[in-house]
């Protein structure tokens, strides 16, 4: 972001309190919405909004969220579409504690959020805004920000209204500087209530630091190895977080004969129908691949499933290629490059051309085409086997049904249950997978935020039963009704923690006590609620599907209701 030329011009804000100055500076920095879960610390914020008709000030639009996980998740989802950081404010220590899981998701997904909370009043008496309720003693902590410090880029407590502009500007700058991430600002009640006689602020906000740019020497080294490789592969997890990179990456792979593999893709990184896109797991290709380039990939492979050959060339690139906030991560690389993918791709294209990669691309494309056909045959065989087996609805069958019913522009927000290998995504920003921290309860709140950012498009939230419960569904459906954000929620309901059972079996094997049980201990969620009733309580339409033949028509009918009647719909899919 390049700031307008600085002229020294200032703008006068007719603010009367620190709370008003805070809100005005949030809007001055481009924030459209503040997602709030209010408490006793919000008194001056409430007054500021109540006084808008009188003050004429410009504040972010408040979005009430009845749980902190919902508030942060909505800000997260909104950013996925609009790429503009939004603000969240919750209630003191207890609200912050509720939000930690969602903030960790945002941190690992590199989502800038201006996360704020009140702070228990500093004084027992003698100041306007000091303690006047029993909770103001019990809610105080020695270091409230300490619980957030490990998962945010910066934390600070506002001490006075005098420097609100500087504090807010710094918060936005740090949140948006690469790699992006959330910040935490605490706001004592007496400080928010502090009196101001107007404030003069800079007309322009400070520039955000330019993102990192690739080293020409390192780009050349990567290009030379790719140009001479027989089976090079570019691996991505989150390069498509910047949707402008999707087409250039696809074009680069096609021109120079480089395979593309997704590794737990959280975004559309390359269209799934692209001829260079392979559906195989990366570990399955280690015997062939002789050059691997990882773009924004936090976990490039699982060592206990396989490792690249010792002679394979490995490079990684991203805004934080070491993922420094992860305590232990020891994947090797011959070249490691700090850069954005958007900056890297044109430089890499020029370097590949200079290295003669055009002349060697035909042989690579032929090998990759063979591998792609092999991968598609495996996927097709799984589809045929699933159809032949029949019976209860599987995740594979669910994924195919959603894909058949949706339009190409419909957005899928997936927390576990949909399987992208059995779906087709050709448009950027139409697929979002849960962040790598995998804090449960992300999917439905994020989908509501995505819908807020793209109100004219269908949004489909696909969740497991456990993820749905963790999402505080009553709060989510309430928000959809309150803010007129109808979307389709699809729950794959197999009444168990699939990850718990799978993890235990993967460690102990089929011949152990865990492996011999039909359902491992601690995995069952029985008796499971009638999830379709949750949405009905907020004026939506609930549906239940138990048979395969019913699934696709039900999804089509649900999408039509969302579109034509503007009602939220939930489909409770009973799976195996």
Are 459 and 447 in contact by the 8 Å Cβ rule? The answer is yes
Q: Which CATH class is domain 10-202?
A: alpha beta
Task: Kindly give the confidence (pLDDT) of every residue in the chain, 576 residues in length, as a single tens digit, with 9 standing for 90 and above.
Answer: 555 545 468 999 999 999 999 999 999 999 999 999 999 999 999 999 999 999 999 999 999 999 999 999 999 999 999 999 999 999 999 999 999 999 999 999 999 999 999 999 999 999 999 999 999 999 999 999 999 999 999 999 999 999 999 999 999 999 999 999 999 999 999 999 999 999 999 999 999 999 999 999 999 999 999 999 999 999 999 999 999 999 999 999 999 999 999 999 999 999 999 999 999 999 999 999 999 999 999 999 999 999 999 999 999 999 999 999 999 999 999 999 999 999 999 999 999 999 999 999 999 999 999 999 999 999 999 999 999 999 999 999 999 999 999 999 999 999 999 999 999 999 999 999 999 999 999 999 999 999 999 999 999 999 999 999 999 999 999 999 999 999 999 999 998 877 787 788 888 887 888 887 877 788 788 899 999 999 999 999 999 999 999 999 999 999 999 999 999 999 999 998
Q: What is the domain partition of the chain in residue ranges?
A: 10-202, 216-371, 390-574
Helix (H) or strand (E) holding 492: strand 488-493
Report helix, strand or coil for 104: helix
Name the one residue in this structure whose structure tokens are 């498509």. 240
**CA 149 to CA 151: how far, in whole Å?**
6
DSSP state of 91: -
The answer to whether 281 and 287 are in contact (CB under 8 A) is no
Q: What share of the chain is helix, strand, coil (3-state, %, to 5)?
A: 45, 15, 40
Sign of the dihedral defined by the CA atoms of residues 81, 85, 89, 93, in that order: positive
Q: Which CATH number fits domain 216-371: 3.40.50.1220, 3.30.70.370, 3.40.50.12280, 3.40.50.300?
A: 3.40.50.1220
- 390-574: which CATH number, 3.40.720.10, 3.40.50.970, 3.40.50.300, 3.40.50.720? 3.40.50.970
Q: What per-residue string of b and e applies to 228-264 under the rule 16 or more CB within 10 Å gives b?
A: ebebbbbbbbbbbbbbebbebbbebbbbbbbbbbbbe
- Asked, colleague to colleague, whether 10-202 and 216-371 share their fold, the answer is yes
């Amino acid at each position: 972001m390049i700031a307008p030329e600085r002229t020294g011009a200032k703008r006068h804000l007719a603010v009367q309190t620190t709370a008003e100055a805070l809100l005005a500076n949030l809007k001055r920095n481009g924030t459209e919405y503040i997602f709030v879960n209010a408490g006793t610390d919000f008194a001056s914020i409430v007054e500021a909004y109540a006084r808008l008709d009188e003050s004429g000030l410009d504040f972010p639009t408040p979005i009430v969220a009845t749980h902190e996980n919902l508030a942060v998740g909505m800000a997260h989802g909104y950013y996925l579409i609009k790429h503009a950081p939004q603000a969240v404010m919750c209630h003191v220590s207890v609200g912050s504690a509720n939000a930690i899981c969602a903030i960790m998701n945002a941190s690992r997904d590199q989502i800038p959020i201006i996360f704020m909370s009140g702070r228990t009043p500093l004084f027992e008496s003698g100041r306007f805004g000091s303690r006047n309720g029993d909770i103001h003693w019990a809610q105080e902590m020695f270091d409230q920000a300490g619980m957030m410090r490990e998962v945010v880029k910066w934390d600070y407590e506002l001490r006075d209204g005098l420097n609100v502009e500087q504090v807010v500007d710094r918060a936005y700058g740090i949140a948006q500087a690469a790699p992006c991430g959330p910040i935490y600002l605490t706001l004592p009640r007496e400080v928010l209530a502090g009196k101001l006689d107007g404030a003069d602020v800079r007309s322009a906000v400070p520039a955000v630091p330019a993102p990192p740019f690739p080293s020409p020497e390192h780009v050349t080294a990567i290009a030379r190895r790719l140009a001479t490789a027989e089976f090079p592969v570019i691996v991505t997890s989150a390069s498509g977080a910047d949707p402008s990179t999707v087409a250039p990456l696809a074009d680069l792979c096609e021109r120079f004969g480089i395979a593309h593999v997704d590794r737990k893709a959280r975004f559309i990184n390359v269209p799934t129908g692209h001829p260079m896109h392979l559906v195989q797991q990366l570990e399955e290709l280690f015997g062939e691949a002789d050059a691997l380039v990882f773009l924004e990939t936090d976990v490039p492979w699982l060592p206990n499933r396989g490792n690249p050959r010792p002679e394979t060339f490995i490079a990684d690139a991203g805004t934080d290629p070491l993922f420094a906030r992860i305590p232990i991560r020891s994947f090797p690389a011959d070249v490691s490059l700090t850069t954005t993918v958007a900056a890297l791709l044109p430089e890499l294209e020029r370097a590949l051309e200079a290295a003669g990669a055009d002349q060697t691309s035909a042989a690579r494309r032929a090998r990759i085409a063979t591998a792609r056909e092999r991968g598609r045959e495996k996927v097709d065989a799984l589809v045929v086997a699933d159809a032949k087996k029949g019976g209860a609805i599987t995740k594979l069958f669910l994924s195919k049904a959603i894909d058949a019913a949706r339009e190409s522009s419909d957005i899928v927000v997936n927390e576990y249950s949909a399987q992208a290998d059995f779906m087709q995504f050709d448009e950027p920003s139409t697929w979002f997978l849960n962040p790598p921290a995998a804090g449960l309860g992300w999917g439905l709140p994020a989908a509501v935020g995505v819908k807020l950012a793209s109100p004219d498009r269908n949004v489909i939230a696909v969740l497991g039963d456990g993820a749905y419960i963790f999402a505080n569904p009553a709060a989510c459906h309430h928000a959809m009704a309150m803010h007129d954000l109808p979307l389709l929620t699809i729950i794959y309901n197999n009444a168990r923690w699939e990850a718990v059972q799978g993890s235990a079996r993967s460690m102990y094997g089929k011949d152990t006590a865990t492996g011999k049980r039909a359902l491992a201990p601690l995995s069952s969620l029985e008796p499971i609620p009638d999830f379709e009733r949750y949405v009905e309580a907020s004026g939506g339409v609930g549906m239940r599907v138990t048979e395969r033949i019913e699934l696709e028509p039900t999804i089509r009918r649900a999408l039509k209701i969302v579109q034509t009647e503007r009602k939220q719909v939930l489909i409770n899919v009973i799976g195996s």
